[in-house]
Amino acid sequence: MHRLAELQSKQGTMTVLGYDFTSSLEGIVLRGDADCYIVSTEDGFSPLGAARRYISASLGIEESVIIKLANWNRFENDQVSLIGLPAQTKPSKLLGVVLAESETSKCYKQFAPAFHSKPYRDFYYNVAYECISYAVNTLGARKLCMSHLSGSGHFHEHIATCIAEALLHFCHNGKKPQIDSFMFVGCCIEVRHLAEIRRINADGNLTSHYGIRTWLTKMAGFEVVNLDWR
């Protein structure tokens, strides 16, 4: 992992924030840099598609099930939702995967046109916060990695900043378990997109997190966390 910054919480805990744009998910997990993967539901030639076979083998979930869940969340689901995939086999170095909404999801159309506008910040912030919360509180993860949540080739520095703000807000809550590290991984993200993150701790003006309404449903036996902040 290439270190980018150290996010200091109000409680004095520290989370290393970094990136790795060249290693496979399998390599990242096997060397102990991540125990949970937050990835957009875009299948095919994508971060999920590239890692799907490894995810299936590590979690003990059939690839066909992962594809079904990803396609449902991307193409059919009108609601902003995340899907939790906990490991079905124990022990597993990969504790689980969170399938997250992205710019190419059907639900994103209600906020902004994909590829033709700046990122809708509330969308990326709330999706990131709830994915982090699920990874830590439900899956028990302490070392998180996340793929781009944009359309292919359309990552923006505002997305990275929203994700980092969500991470720091989560860590500021002393009731939450500590996150040891958080990594941006995979394609479409470049170091230049992460430049503003270094200023988050330095400026001292970070706002507070406001809780949103969430509720659980099930899809193919897996938890679906639905989000509503309006």
For 121-131, b/e burial (b = at least 16 CB within 10 A) is bebbbbbbbbb
Rounded-to-integer distance, Cα 86 and Cα 96, Å: 4
Model-level pTM?
0.92
Q: Which tokens hold the place of 223?
A: 């938890």
Identify the pLDDT of residue 18: 92
**Which residues span the domain enclosing 98?**
2-228
Identify the helix (H) or strand (E) that includes residue 181.
strand 181-185
Look-up of token digits 């639905």: 226
pLDDT in tens, 173-228: 766 668 999 999 987 777 777 877 776 654 455 677 888 999 999 999 999 999 99
Nearest to 126 by CA among 230, 18, 16, 17: 230
- Look at the chain and report how many structural domains it folds into: 1
CATH number at residue 71: 3.40.220.10
Task: Kindly report the backbone phi and psi dihedral angles of residue 82, in degrees, each rounded to the nearest multiple of 5, phi listed first.
Answer: -125, 155
Show the low-confidence residues of the chain (pLDDT under 70).
115-117, 151-154, 174-177, 199-206
